[in-house]
Structure 1
């Protein structure tokens, strides 16, 4: 092997990149073929081709809703790593927010319970005070339970 060949990076297989992007997007090969105006057989052959002419790659990219440059730069392993990092960050943030929200709700509940206890204590004290007042009134003015109200 010549030194020039050894230094070259392996050429990306554009057809495989198109296929993986299509699969990631949940698109059937027939749908991509229709979107690009080609036959499904032609789309299948292109997905098996290491190289794809620029104009054809542009058509495929448009059918996938991406750019040809995106297809050329697409690295599945890098995309998976990026998604994993995003998911981990989102989960950590989401669970942190969920915990914060639960703590805030618990604090609100605790405050409401404290206010309820104060209110119940006041109501209880008011009832006791009314009972004492009623008892005092009964001592001052005994109720006539059979006198004037029962005339026949």
Structure 2
């Protein structure tokens, strides 16, 4: 039982992990944005306190103010999310329109599609060049 009137200090690493889980953000995505390894993100999530610069960069990646991590309260956060989702559904005629995908994953998927399309274009170009070379060779005979 706590007898102190001082608020309990937030374990910043656990707060980051919990916010990441609530927001459906993978460690890999944070690692990519911070240009560090996934293992480094895992280590960060075990630290009680982080450097202010690290905290700010991670907050930016998660899309939350630094204070949300510093003053993290899981019950208040879940209540806030539930309240906002209920309000959004009411405002949109009962249809919740919240983003349910990870933008970074979608970006990576689109980059893979661009690579695939570029490869197809290069193949088509090579085929046309080969066809033109055959036509020119026949005409020069």
State the TM-score, normalized to the length of structure 1. 0.50
**Uncovered stretches (5+) of structure 1, i.e. residues with no partner:** 99-152
Aligned partner of 1:119 in structure 2 is none
Give the secondary-structure state (helix, strand or coil) at the position aligned to 1:52: coil
Aligned partner of 1:9 in structure 2 is 7
Q: CA deviation at 1:16?
A: 0.9
Cα deviation, 1:72-120, whole Å, max 9, x if unaligned, reads 23322012223334455666x57xx78xxxxxxxxxxxxxxxxxxxxxx
State the TM-score, normalized to the length of structure 2. 0.54
Aligned partner of 1:60 in structure 2 is 58
> Does the Cα contact within 8 Å between 1:36 and 1:62 map onto a contact in 2?
no
Q: CA deviation at 1:59?
A: 1.4
Pick the structure with greater CA Rg: 1
Aligned partner of 1:18 in structure 2 is 16
Aligned alpha-carbon RMSD (Å): 2.6
Aligned partner of 1:134 in structure 2 is none
> Does the Cα contact within 8 Å between 2:10 and 2:72 map onto a contact in 1?
no
Cα distance in 1, alignment partners of residues 65 and 39 from structure 2: 23
Cα deviation, 1:53-85, whole Å, max 9, x if unaligned, reads 101101111221222122223322012223334
Higher helix share: 1
